[in-house]
Amino acid sequence: MAAGKAQFRTERAHAKINVVLRILSREASGYHNIETLFQRLALHDVVTVRVGDMSRTLRCDGPTMPSAGLGPATENLAWRAAELYAREAGWETGWEISIDKQIPVGGGLGGGSADAAAVLRAMEDLSPVKLGHERLMALGGTLGADVPFFVSGASLAWAWGRGDRLLTLPALPSMSVLLVTFAQGVNTGAAYGALAEHRAASGRAHGAQAFQLSEFASWAALARIAMNDFEAVVPTLHEGVARVLPRLKALAQDSVRSDDADMPRLALMSGSGATCFLLAPDATSLQVPADWQVTFTCTT
């Protein structure tokens, strides 16, 4: 069976952090509208897709794989991405998908979405019939709010709606990033539910906010708008976040120096959690408690 330009394709599936994450209204379908600033990280999974006359299989391995695995292969976003692409392209091919997991699972870093986007890109490269970038972005949007960003290949992007509307922004100077991860993540549905209850109790409205492009033009400008709505409730759901996030924010504040105002330090939680991060010019040199599960990477 023909496999397009090649029989296999290997893609890097980069993680992300949310430097801004605002949760807006909920649609009748159950989806929430969001406003978010995605920043790509150097940390990545490695995804290899082989196509041809073979059975359809998915294999995940690597140091960040949970001991219980990732569940049924057919429910994995990477599998669903391959199935969706093949159906849209009218391409009845077999595939073998292999994922080397380096991104912590279930931590708000977008690993599953990044893998799905990598599969879409690989399938597009291998397919005898090309769908084109716009269609690929649209397919990504049906898989998850983060997937279009990963499909785009952008370093920095503002996203809104369900995350499928993207404004690609100029990349900023590389910053080192300290990630504090946990064995257990945060259930996204529970996080949204807790946030809804919190907002109902407060009675505050949460509409879209106007931002200027200048607010995305430097790390110093971003430090003034950086925020994550889920930080209001996730510490009540996750003991690790409750313990680590305040200490990480204090560390960021204590480490500020007057001679590096253009490259500030900021600490946030990514996505709906549970990963907390400190973004700084010198994150690798900062002293953190020995019992923290730490990964160092950088923006890219």
CATH number of the domain encompassing residue 94: 3.30.230.10
Q: What is the pLDDT of residues 34-87, one digit of tens each?
A: 899 999 999 999 999 999 999 999 999 999 888 777 889 999 999 999 999 999
pTM: 0.91
Residues 140, 15 within the same domain: yes
CA–CA distance, 97 with 61 (Å, rounded to integer): 11
Tell me, yes or no, whether 81 lies in a domain.
yes
Domain count within the chain: 2
Domain boundary among 134, 168, 202: 168
Task: Enumerate the active-site residues.
Answer: 16, 146
Share of the chain above pLDDT 70, in %: 92
Cα distances (angstroms) measured from residue 23 to each of 32, 148, 177: 7, 18, 24
Q: Is the pLDDT of residue 258 over 50?
A: no
Residues 149, 216 within the same domain: no
| Mean of pLDDT values over 220-227 | 94
Collapsing DSSP to helix, strand or coil, 44 comes out as strand
Residues 156, 201 within the same domain: no
Give the residue, 194 or 107, on which the prediction is more confident: 194
Domain boundary among 110, 133, 168: 168
Q: Is the pLDDT of residue 191 over 70?
A: yes
Tell me, yes or no, whether 2 lies in a domain.
no
Q: Is the pLDDT of residue 163 over 60?
A: yes
Residues spanned by the domain of 33: 8-168
State residue 255's pLDDT score. 57
Residue with tokens 């499909």: 151
